[in-house]
């Protein structure tokens, strides 16, 4: 969006696409499972809808050069439910409806941010929207590819017991926040890269992004044992058996941090299809490796699988991102 000559038109179309897609997904999911557990269904739908809408609001603000507000949107989307649920728990007033309301509040905030500026721009939804949708397929696929990792727990359940799957899920949850910092950095840098594509400033900004991400990733890898010690101390010694799994996931998070810098460059250059192919391939191989490693070596070797997946993704993205650095003139600064 930052690189578009008519960013208002593009932003408006993607807003209505996101709202339509979110509504359809909510209706389909609700229809499928509402009868089994109405409250749980409504909580899940409100949570997913909040994520989808706030994700657009964040991208919209970043694409219109309002990076600080973009970061604040993500922070408050997580902070509001946390504060509401935490306060309710302390006050012994906890209910499913309260959880749902907390996510609905973030959903409404996420809608109001872009709608306030775009509600009068329905005219931009024109006959060429379908061609633009087809043109953005690569970006859609690059967003879907990482979700292959969501199949890890079900796949692991094919070869180990439920307790082992639970340990894997806990380790994944513990290490997920480690990617937030570098993810926020790339959210800030990607619009700037898109604006400066083909200039000397692009190369400088890209190298700074890689350096910062690599430093963060290296710090994670070197401190993996210490972070794991802290996690086990907080969770209790019952989770000692997950030590190597947590270490492996922290190392994988460090590698992922570097990959995100390469990914930002490729997306800024419009090579989203390349990102989708590499991430999808790496995630699929990692999924297969997870099952094979556990089947052959058992749970003690499970920590290797996330590293394998992230190594493949990192090498693939690095090769593609650095294969064609922009060639610019010595005096090109704009």
Counted domains in the chain = 2
**Distance between CA atoms of 191 and 45, rounded to whole angstroms?**
30
| Domain-embedded: residue 264 | yes
Place 127 in a pLDDT band, splitting at 50, 70 and 90.
low
| Domain-embedded: residue 334 | no
Element (H, E) at 248: helix 243-268
| Domain-embedded: residue 61 | yes
**Residues ≥6 apart with Cβ < 8 Å to 287:** 148, 149, 151, 152, 155, 309
The lowest-confidence range among 39-48, 62-71, 243-252 is 62-71
pLDDT per position as a tens digit, 267-322 = 888 888 888 889 989 889 988 988 898 888 888 888 998 999 999 999 999 999 88
**Distance between CA atoms of 136 and 314, rounded to whole angstroms?**
24
| Domain-embedded: residue 331 | no
Q: Return the number of other C-beta atoms located less than 10 Å from residue 168's C-beta.
A: 24
End position of a domain, from candidates 80, 110, 135: 135
Percentage of the chain modeled with pLDDT above 70:
74
Q: Which domain holds residue 68?
A: 1-135
Most confident range, picked from 47-51, 199-203, 207-211: 207-211
Residue 249 has pLDDT above 50, yes or no: yes
Residue 178 has pLDDT above 90, yes or no: no
Q: Is the pTM of this model over 0.85?
A: no
What DSSP character marks residue 199?
S
**If 0-12 CB within 10 Å is exposed, 13-18 middle and 19+ buried, where does residue 319 land?**
exposed
Query: Which residue, among 285, 97, 325, has the nearest Cα to 205 in the 3D structure?
Result: 325
Three-class SS state of 227: helix
| Same domain, residue pair 159 and 285 | yes
End position of a domain, from candidates 106, 135, 164: 135
């Amino acid at each position: 969006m930052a690189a578009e000559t008519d960013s208002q038109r593009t932003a408006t179309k993607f807003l209505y696409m996101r709202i339509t897609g979110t509504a359809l997904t909510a209706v389909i999911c609700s229809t499928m499972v509402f009868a089994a557990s109405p409250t749980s269904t409504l909580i899940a739908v409100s949570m997913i809808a909040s994520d989808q809408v706030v994700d657009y609001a964040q991208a919209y603000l970043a694409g219109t050069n309002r990076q600080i507000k973009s970061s604040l949107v993500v922070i408050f989307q997580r902070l509001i439910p946390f504060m509401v649920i935490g306060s309710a728990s302390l006050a012994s007033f906890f209910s499913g409806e309260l959880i749902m309301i907390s996510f609905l509040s973030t959903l409404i905030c996420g809608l109001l941010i872009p709608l306030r500026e775009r509600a009068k721009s329905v005219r931009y939804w024109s006959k060429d929207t379908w061609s633009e949708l087809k043109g953005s397929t690569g970006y859609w696929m690059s967003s879907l590819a990482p979700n292959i990792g969501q199949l890890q727990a079900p796949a692991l359940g094919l070869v180990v017991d439920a307790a082992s799957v639970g340990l894997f899920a806990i380790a994944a949850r513990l290490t997920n926040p480690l990617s937030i910092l570098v993810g926020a950095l790339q959210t800030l840098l990607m619009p700037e890269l898109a604006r400066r594509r083909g200039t000397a400033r692009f190369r400088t900004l890209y190298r700074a992004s890689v350096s910062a991400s690599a430093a963060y990733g290296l710090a994670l890898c070197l401190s993996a044992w210490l972070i794991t010690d802290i996690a086990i101390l907080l969770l209790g010694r019952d989770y000692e058996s997950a030590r190597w799994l947590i270490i492996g996931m922290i190392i994988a998070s460090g590698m992922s941090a570097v990959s995100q810098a390469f990914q930002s460059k490729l997306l800024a250059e419009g090579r989203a299809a390349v990102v989708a192919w590499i991430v999808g391939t790496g995630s699929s191989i990692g999924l297969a490796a997870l099952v094979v490693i556990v089947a052959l070596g058992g749970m003690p070797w499970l920590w290797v699988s996330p590293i394998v997946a992230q190594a493949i993704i990192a090498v693939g993205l690095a090769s593609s991102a650095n294969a064609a650095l922009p060639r610019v003139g010595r005096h090109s600064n704009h």
